[in-house]
């Protein structure tokens, strides 16, 4: 077994935690969601896709690319942030709890890679499939909240870095995570990974 710990530095007072989201903020995520789960399935030989898609998903799972190239933008504009490791839904629930706000997640706009889209096209139950992708974990993207006035700047900075950025929800005055599909709130069968 091999373990590695990486440490970093941030200017005093500039760290963005899970606890700063405010009602009215927008919720964004970098990259694509679900490739971690599908990559695990690919590594286990459980996917029926074209070989190049299976190989790409397995490679993503084995060697993820953390979004350190967008960390400075998150530091400068986000009110709260979290790495997507436990599953997007679970990690957004962490933000809601730490910030004492409500967070909404719209499954209909979940950003999917080309390989995930190919997998999704064959699914019988689209809602359940999106729930699986939003709860699978190991995506290592950044989910964050930001004031609406920063949306254009965030999109410009993402485009400059050739990085996909998707608005996936909003922060409300409520509490906890609300997941919607086709405009209606749903109860997800599984929320993501929890640490005991």
Within-domain flag for 110: yes
Residue 97: give the domain boundaries.
21-186
Kindly indicate the confidence band of residue 58, based on its pLDDT and cuts at 50, 70 and 90: very high
Helix (H) or strand (E) holding 146: strand 142-146
According to the model, what pLDDT value does residue 192 have?
56
Asked if residue 14 belongs to a domain, the reply is no
Hey, which residues does 110 pair with through a beta bridge? none
Residue predicted with more confidence, 65 or 162: 162
Asked if 18 contacts 99 with a C-beta cutoff of 8 angstroms, the reply is yes
Indicate whether 2 belongs to any domain.
no
- Give the C-alpha separation, 163 to 45, whole Å: 29
> Is residue 179 one of the residues assigned to a domain?
yes
User: pLDDT, tens digit, for every residue of 64-91?
Assistant: 988 999 999 999 999 999 999 999 999 9
Query: What is the number of domains present in the chain?
Result: 1
pLDDT-based confidence at 52, cuts 50/70/90? Answer: very high
Residue 10: pLDDT band (50, 70, 90) is confident
Task: For residue 192, tell me if it sits in a domain.
Answer: no
Give the pTM.
0.93
Nearest-5° angle of CA 175, CA 21, CA 165? 110
Q: Does 191 fall in a domain?
A: no
Query: What does the CA dihedral 98, 65, 8, 28 come to, rounded to 10 degrees?
Result: -30
Any domain includes 109: yes
In a domain, 134, yes or no: yes
Given this model, what pLDDT does residue 7 score? 79
Confidence of residue 5 (pLDDT cuts 50, 70, 90): confident
pLDDT per position as a tens digit, 112-143: 999 999 999 999 999 999 999 999 999 999 99
Give the bridge partners for 102, in sequence order: 172, 176
Instruction: Give the CATH number of the domain where residue 131 resides.
Output: 3.90.650.10
List the one residue out of 37, 38, 39 whose CA is nearest residue 63.
39
Confidence of residue 190 (pLDDT cuts 50, 70, 90): low
d(CA 79, CA 22): 7
Give the whole-number percent of the chain exceeding pLDDT 70: 96
pLDDT in the model for residue 191: 61
């Amino acid at each position: 077994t091999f373990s590695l710990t990486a440490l970093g530095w941030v200017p005093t007072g500039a760290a963005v935690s899970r606890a700063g989201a405010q009602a009215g903020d927008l919720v964004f995520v970098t990259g694509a969601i679900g490739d971690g789960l599908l990559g695990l399935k690919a590594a286990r030989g459980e996917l029926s896709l074209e070989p190049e898609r299976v190989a790409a998903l397995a490679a993503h799972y084995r060697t993820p690319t953390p979004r350190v190239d967008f960390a400075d933008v998150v530091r400068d504009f986000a009110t709260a942030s979290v790495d997507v490791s436990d599953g997007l839904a679970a990690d957004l629930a962490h933000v809601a709890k730490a910030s004492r706000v409500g967070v909404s997640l719209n499954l209909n706009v979940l950003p999917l890679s080309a390989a995930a889209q190919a997998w999704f096209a064959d699914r019988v139950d689209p809602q359940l499939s999106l729930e699986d992708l939003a709860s699978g974990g190991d995506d290592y993207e950044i989910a964050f909240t930001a004031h609406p006035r920063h949306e254009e700047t965030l999109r410009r900075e993402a485009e400059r870095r050739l990085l996909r950025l998707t608005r996936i929800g909003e922060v409300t005055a409520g509490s906890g995570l609300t997941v919607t599909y086709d405009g209606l709130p749903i109860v997800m069968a599984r929320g993501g990974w929890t640490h005991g």
